[in-house]
Structure 1
Amino acid sequence: MKISEPLSLEAATWLPEGRERVSDLLESGGLSEAEAAQLGLTEVPVSDVPGPQLAVRAAERVLAAADFAPQRIGLVAHSWLYHQGHDFWSPPHYVADQVGAHDALPIGVRQMSNGGVAALGVAVDRLLADPSVEAALVTTGDRFVPPGFNRWTADYGAVYGDAGTAALVRRHEPDTTRPVLLLRSLTFSTAAEYEAMYRGRDPFTEAPLEAGAPIDVRRPKKAYLEEHGGMGPFLKSAAEAVRSTLLQSLEESGTRPGDPRIRCVALPRLGEHVLSVTHALLDELLGVEVLQLREGSGHLGAGDLLANLAHIGTSHTLESGEFAVVIGGGGGFTWSCAVVQAA
């Protein structure tokens, strides 16, 4: 997605105060030493409020920091990975109402762990297509708790942390004195045949959790890999997708592999063996600092990329004119890449 006019982006993350720690899981027998070592973290945030409320808190944080009136927002795009607190309900409308964006169009965007990036893409499309839309708010919010979900053992290579994330996207005003990021490109690559990895041999069900609780992501993945000859084909597809998405995003942002203006690249907040296919590629094409920010957060459902943008935007990593690359992805599978520049 080549962005034809400058769009500014400010992002925020809301992490609850509660924590669950690897040491406690080791002591209770909930994790083995080998499993703990692969995760590459010591603790994850745990919330006592549902995901949409976490999204609202992140949104309020970014709107306050930007001193931006919610009445000026034309679109609220909310994404999530897991249960939002009600079975038959519209979380995006809740977020819009709670933040005061009463004139905005609320929409929900689902794309597994890539959902926050997909929602960002919808926001960009709307801003570029409709001059009457002044700004868009993108949010994610998830809470991964029993009885439906065991954040520690549900999946391979990921511990799921509770969090809200938000990004305010609008047309850039060159005379602003606020430090903002300019979104220069946003690209996607999909291999839809891998949707079956999250389905395995399980039949379609009539209602949530009929296949069993807590959710076991490992079971369908294991079944899929048994039927398709292991991880080899998927890893090959993933490497090709990450490469093509990254190269396209660099080209559309006006940069190139090895560009000295690129200061860092941020990865999804997953375990090392999940990201192994990415490291060699990044060393080859970029050779810059790799930000792995899972420590203290774990995998934030649909919110990893927005949380990584929030970190880059507030950590003063970039000087004016410098770039950062942020990689995303989610089951299905879709991979994504955003390139941002410090204004």
Structure 2
Amino acid sequence: MRVENVHINSLGVALHEWVSAEQAVADGLLGPEVTAANGLTGTHVSGDVPAVDLAVSAARTTLERSKLEPDEIASHLHSGVSYQGPVGSYPPGYIQRELGLEDASALYLQQGCNGMLGTLEVAIGQITGAAETAAVLLTTGENFSSPEIDRWTGFGQSYFLGDGGAAALLSAEEGFAEVRSLHAGLLPALEKWHRGEGPLLPSGEPGSMADMAARAERFNETELSLSETLERLSAFDLGIIHRALVDADLNASDLAKVVPIHMDGRMIEHSVMKPLGLPMSKSSFDFGKGAGHVGGADVFLTLEHLVRTQEVGPGDHVLLISQGPGWMCTACVITIRELPVWAV
């Protein structure tokens, strides 16, 4: 969809200790052949800091960087992949209480690693639709420090799971960047890739991300090979990306940066950059390879880095891309209009 009058007013991130892949190899947590192949250099670890507190920290930075007052925020959209709190709790309520927000509506989206661009899609509708919302806060937070999760290889050899938080404040009136377009879609033919063949009623046994990886492997063994699966989802993702570019009245050659989720450099090059006819130097892999895959936060962690370090500036067009189980994909084009005061 073509988007008008939606602006990114502010961004904030929360990242703690960085652990190198080299150290993980030395500790016996990772084989050296993995890093040699995927090009990833490390990830961030937050220890016992809860995911929702990482989201709160990122949101506080976002609000501090903005000229908008908290009481101007009419909507709060949160997303998460890993543990966000006890069953029956509502993470947005915790975050709003910690931030002192009042009278803001709240939605909690669970779209896996597509979560934050998913909340952006909803925010666009709230700002441009019947609600005419003036400002929307997006938050996410992840902490994969669990004995049930192997952050180095538990999600396959193409990702190092990372801890962190990200937040974005969307405004109908002002911001340093303008949202030009967003297109999203779902490829339900691949939903079983992550669901598996188990019962659709509670089994009494807790699931885990390791279970999901095993289900995906089983699907590739019994129903559709990994190569065929990747071929189908790559074609689907590229269709989403091309639609977002068309709606923004841009060609791939107009892009200053392409920001995918943080993953194996080979996947970025062969599934995104080469099909778009762009060199890897126009991707954000140099940052993403050391940041870790922080669920849906990746694209906004990277965007904050690019803006803060002035790797992108006024007039630059940036493509944000994320995916999630289901199989879903979202692509968004933004244009930087000015550098915010927090850019160094």
* TM-score with structure 2 setting the length: 0.89
RMSD in angstroms over aligned alpha carbons?
2.2
CA–CA separation in structure 1 for the residues paired with 2:227 and 2:289: 28
**Distance (whole Å) between structure 2 residues aligned to residue 118 and residue 242 of structure 1:** 15
Superposed, 1:207-226 pairs within 5 Å as 210-211=206-207, 215-226=210-221
Is contact 2:81-2:110 (8 Å) kept? Answer: yes
Flag structure 2 segments of 5+ consecutive residues without an equivalent.
338-344
Distance 1:257 1:296, change over 3 A: closer
**Do 1:189 and 1:245's aligned partners in 2 also have CA atoms closer than 8 Å?**
yes
Corresponding residue number in structure 2 for 1:82? 82
**Aligned-pair CA distance for 1:119:** 0.8
Q: Distance in 2 between matches of 1:116 and 1:184?
A: 17
Q: What is the match of residue 320 of structure 2?
A: 326
Q: Judging changes above 3 Å, is the alpha-carbon distance between structure 1 residues 214 and 307 closer, same or farther for their aligned structure 2 residues? A: closer
Cα distance change of structure 1 residues 155 and 205 upon mapping to structure 2, 3 Å threshold = farther
Cα deviation, 1:25-65, whole Å, max 9, x if unaligned, reads 22232211222223423321111211111001101101111
CA distance in 2, matches of 1:328, 1:214: 18
> Is the contact made by 2:22 and 2:41 (CA closer than 8 Å) also made in structure 1?
yes
Give the corresponding residue for 2:340.
none
- With over 3 angstroms needed to count, the CA separation of the structure-2 counterparts of 1:287 and 1:87, relative to structure 1, is closer
For residues 197-229 of structure 1, the C-alpha deviation after alignment (integer angstroms, 9 at most, x for no partner) is 112244446367535x67343311110001124
1:198 — aligned with what? 194
> What is the DSSP-based 3-state SS (H/G/I as helix, E as strand, rest coil) of the residue aligned with 2:74?
strand
Distance 2:8 2:31 in 1: 44
* CA distance in 2: counterparts of 1:87 and 1:12, whole angstroms: 28
- SS for the counterpart of 2:7 is strand
% identity of equivalent residues: 24
Which of the numbers 258, 269, 276 marks the counterpart of 2:262? Answer: 269
Of residues 171, 182, 196 in structure 1, which corresponds to 2:178?
182
2:161 corresponds to: 160
- Find runs of 4+ consecutive structure 1 residues off by over 6 angstroms: none
CA distance in 2: counterparts of 1:320 and 1:28, whole angstroms:
44
In structure 1, runs of 5+ residues without a counterpart are none
Aligned pairs for 1:72-111 (under 5 A) are 72-111=72-111
Aligned length: 333
Q: How far did 1:110 drift?
A: 0.8
Contact 1:12–1:165 (Cα < 8 Å) also in 2: yes
Say which SS state the counterpart of residue 234 (structure 2) adopts. Answer: helix
* Offset, 1:118: 0.4
Mapped partners of 1:14, 1:282: distance in 2:
32
Higher mean alpha-carbon deviation, 48-57 vs 21-30, is at 21-30
Aligned letter for 1:244? G
Matches within 5 A, 1:1-343: 1-16=1-16, 18-47=17-46, 48-130=48-130, 132-156=132-156, 157-173=158-174, 180-204=176-200, 206=202, 210-211=206-207, 215-259=210-254, 262-275=255-268, 276-283=270-277, 289-292=282-285, 293-343=287-337
Distance in 2 of aligned mates of 1:312 and 1:172? 23
The question of whether the paired residues in 2 share the 8 Å contact of 1:8 and 1:172 is answered with no
- Quickly say closer, same or farther: Cα 1:274–1:220, change in 2 above 3 A: farther
Measured against aligned partners, the alpha-carbon deviations of 1:271-310 in whole angstroms (never above 9, x if no partner) come to 13443322311226x8871111223321011211222222
Tell me if structure 1 keeps the 8 A contact 2:12–2:60. Answer: no
Partners of 2:263 and 2:288 within 8 A in 1? yes
Residue identity matched to 2:2: K
Aligned 8 A contact 1:187 1:337 in 2: yes
How far apart, in 2, do the equivalents of 1:208 and 1:273 lie? Answer: 39
TM-score (norm 1): 0.89
Between stretches 297-306 and 19-28, larger displacement belongs to 19-28
1:167 partner amino acid: A
Whole-angstrom CA distance in 1 between matches of 2:128 and 2:49 = 35
